[in-house]
Structure 1
Amino acid sequence: MNNTSQRRQVFIKKDFQGRFILGAFALILLSGLCSALLIYWMTGGDLQAQSQSAHASIVNASERLGISILIGNLVAILAAGGIAVGTVLYASHKIAGPLYRFETLCQEVGKGNLDTVTHLRENDQLQDLAQSFSTMVANLRNRRDHRQRLLAELDQQIGRCLINSGTELSPTQHEAISVLANLVAELEKLEK
């Protein structure tokens, strides 16, 4: 078996991944637009005034343009960075919150609590996982209940055998019934 398996399908949750990619692309476009508008606003009037004068200073214009580009890019990076942090925090909360909920649910199920209920907020990611988890817990609960009913019936039948045939049973049969009763008791302890 090859331990370095490669993922063949890149788009697993197409809707979520598509929205995430579009959001990142929109953030890049917003950053570029912000930078361009800031540079235009800072240098537009000066460059137009210098181009109309008879003594246009190329050195002065390049210095002014360089400083404007630097300031424009810094402001755009800060604005886009702030928006990116907010967006990633919001998007990751829609994933981290449900993951934390599943972690606590798994701990509860591991302790034997099969009466847990999986509820996620409407806009959270991992809704399909929540549904699968709920189905799994319901199936485990049904199996536990069925096993408890079978154990109760087995215990009842063992009791009937002892009451109805107490003296008619051989020592080997008494021993077998005693072993069965002990096994039922041990299984009932495991269920609790």
Structure 2
Amino acid sequence: MSRNRKDILPFQRDGVREVDMGNRPPFRRRNYFIKKKFQIDFSIKFLIIIVIEAVLAIGLFLYLSKGTLTTGYLGAELKIASTYDFFLPMLLFSNLVIVGVTGIIGIIVLIFLSHKIAGPLYRFENVLGEIGKGDLTHRFKLREKDQFTELQNSINILTGILDKKVGNLKSEVSEISQLVSKTEAVAANPSANQELPHLLHEISERLRRLEESAGYFKTS
């Protein structure tokens, strides 16, 4: 039986828009590959480290077992062979299994861990892109378990300061623009020329304050 459309629309309660939670999907599949190149490179480097460790282990074994003999039973037969020949097949097989299992588990863990890094990096890129376009109202809001929360706070403080400073500059420019328009109107009226000195003084004072505000920024 189809549900009425109004049953799935947001509704207001005490001025707050709410959504009927019963109409939401039971779960939303999370995207763990936010920055694929970063996460894939991270996983490949991890695998390379595991392989290097396995090769070093085999190489160290071959070096230490050089010139030694080992006795052991092969079924009911007592066998004497060089340590190299006796253990190398088992060592190769065990290292192959270890590399495979460790690699699979490690990649899965790295994907989950890198998601906590790649997610914030993706949001940093987006928000910084908007800030670079001149929108200083953007603020970062990461999840509690994400990395870079300290960087988030630092950038939010910086953006807040820039927002305030640029807001002051815009306010000063707007006031100067109004004074200039008023001065032009007074200059066009000979009977009101006595106001010109006062207006020019106001403009001069506003320009001085504007220069002080702009002096906060250092440019190349």
Q: Does 1:87 pair with 2:114?
A: no
Structure 1 Cα separation of the partners of residues 125 and 104 of structure 2:
30
* Matching residue within 42, 56, 59 for 2:78: 56
Secondary structure (helix, strand or coil) at the match of 2:145 reads: coil
Structure 1 stretches lacking a partner, 5+ long: 1-23, 33-48, 181-192
Runs of 4+ in 1 over 3 A off after TM superposition: 49-53, 61-66, 162-165
Q: Does 1:123 pair with 2:145?
A: yes
| Total equivalences in the alignment | 134
Query: Identity across aligned pairs (percent)?
Result: 28
User: Structure 2 length normalisation: TM-score?
Assistant: 0.47
1:135-191 CA distance string (max 9 Å, x none) = 11111111122122212222232233334453255xxx8xxx8xx9xxxxxxxxxxx
Q: Give the superposition deviation at 1:67.
A: 2.7
Secondary structure (helix, strand or coil) at the match of 1:89 reads: helix
Secondary structure (helix, strand or coil) at the match of 1:79 reads: helix
Gap change, CA 1:103 and 1:144, over 3 Å in 2:
same
Q: Give the superposition deviation at 1:71.
A: 1.5
The structure, 1 or 2, with the larger RCO (C-alpha pairs under 8 Å, 6+ apart) is 1
Summarize the alignment of residues 10-89 of structure 1 with structure 2, pairs less than 5 Å apart.
Answer: 50=73, 55-58=77-80, 65-89=87-111
Normalized per residue, the structure richer in strand is 2
Partner of 1:157: 179
Partner of 2:19: none
User: Structure 1 length normalisation: TM-score?
Assistant: 0.53
Structure 2 Cα separation of the partners of residues 135 and 144 of structure 1:
14
Amino acid in the other structure paired with 2:73: Q
Structure 2 stretches lacking a partner, 5+ long: 1-45, 55-71, 204-220
Normalized per residue, the structure richer in helix is 1
Partner of 2:59: none
Q: Give the superposition deviation at 1:87.
A: 2.9
Q: Give the superposition deviation at 1:95.
A: 2.0
Summarize the alignment of residues 144-183 of structure 1 with structure 2, pairs less than 5 Å apart.
Answer: 144-165=166-187, 166-167=189-190, 169=193
Gap change, CA 1:105 and 1:56, over 3 Å in 2:
same
Gap change, CA 1:136 and 1:57, over 3 Å in 2:
same
